[in-house]
């Protein structure tokens, strides 16, 4: 990939994670930009460095891992990527390479004193246990994505709550980038019921 293509990928993924109407896959990662605007950027050397260091799939995963770690992807700038980008990417790789193990461990956290159903839903209007555990850093976004994909529990959450709506948005935008063997995870969920 050229440095300009890396920049284009960055912009497309930024759009994907910030704009509810833009889908990276639907638009094949295309965004409106031009080479002149890229050449005027002070940070173009960052994109050149990435183009030499990483393959195209690694570049996509690099940006995805950073957008899902950001509390507000619309405010994430290249300086953050320079500072925390490699660490976020390595943490993401670690989580995805041990996905099955982490999922089991995080299900243990969720079902320690509760049934899985009680962990996913809230009766009294407060945040559900899974949202609290995610916000507290004890449950990963990958576990949320897998549970949402297999149970559709987020349809029953209060989407009017600002915090919950941000989590729902992030999970839905991240879902197409996370691949896993559904059958293994279905069996793990069934063992908890």
Same domain, residue pair 33 and 54: yes
The CATH number for 108's domain is: 1.10.220.50
Same domain, residue pair 108 and 77: no
| pLDDT greater than 90 at residue 73 | no
Same domain, residue pair 93 and 109: no
Phi-psi region at 152: left, alpha or beta (left = phi > 0; alpha = psi -120 to 50): left
Residues contacting 8, CB < 8 A, separation 6+: 29, 30, 31, 33
Same domain, residue pair 172 and 93: no
Same domain, residue pair 7 and 92: yes
CA pair distance 135, 161, nearest whole angstrom: 14
Q: How many domains does the chain have?
A: 2
pTM beyond 0.95: no
Domain range enclosing 132: 99-190
Give residue 156's pLDDT: 85
Same domain, residue pair 50 and 117: no
Q: Dump pLDDT digits (tens) for 148-181.
A: 999 999 988 887 888 888 999 999 999 999 999 9
């Amino acid at each position: 990939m050229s440095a300009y293509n890396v920049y284009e990928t960055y912009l497309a993924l930024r759009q994907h994670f910030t704009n509810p109407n833009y889908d990276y896959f639907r638009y094949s990662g295309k965004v409106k930009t031009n080479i002149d605007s890229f050449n005027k950027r002070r940070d173009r050397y960052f994109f050149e460095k990435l183009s030499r260091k990483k393959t195209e799939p690694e570049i996509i995963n690099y940006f995805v891992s950073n957008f899902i770690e950001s509390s507000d992807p619309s405010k994430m700038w290249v300086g953050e990527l320079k500072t925390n980008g490699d660490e976020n990417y390595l943490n993401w790789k670690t989580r995805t390479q041990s996905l099955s193990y982490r999922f089991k461990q995080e299900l243990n956290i969720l079902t320690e004193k509760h049934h899985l159903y009680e962990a996913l839903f809230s009766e009294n209007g407060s945040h559900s246990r899974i949202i609290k555990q995610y916000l507290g850093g004890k449950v990963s976004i990958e576990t949320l994505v897998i549970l949402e994909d297999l149970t559709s529990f987020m349809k029953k959450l209060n989407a009017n709550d600002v915090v919950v709506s941000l989590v729902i948005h992030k999970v839905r935008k991240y879902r197409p980038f996370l691949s896993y063997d559904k059958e293994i995870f279905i069996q793990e969920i069934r063992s908890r019921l």
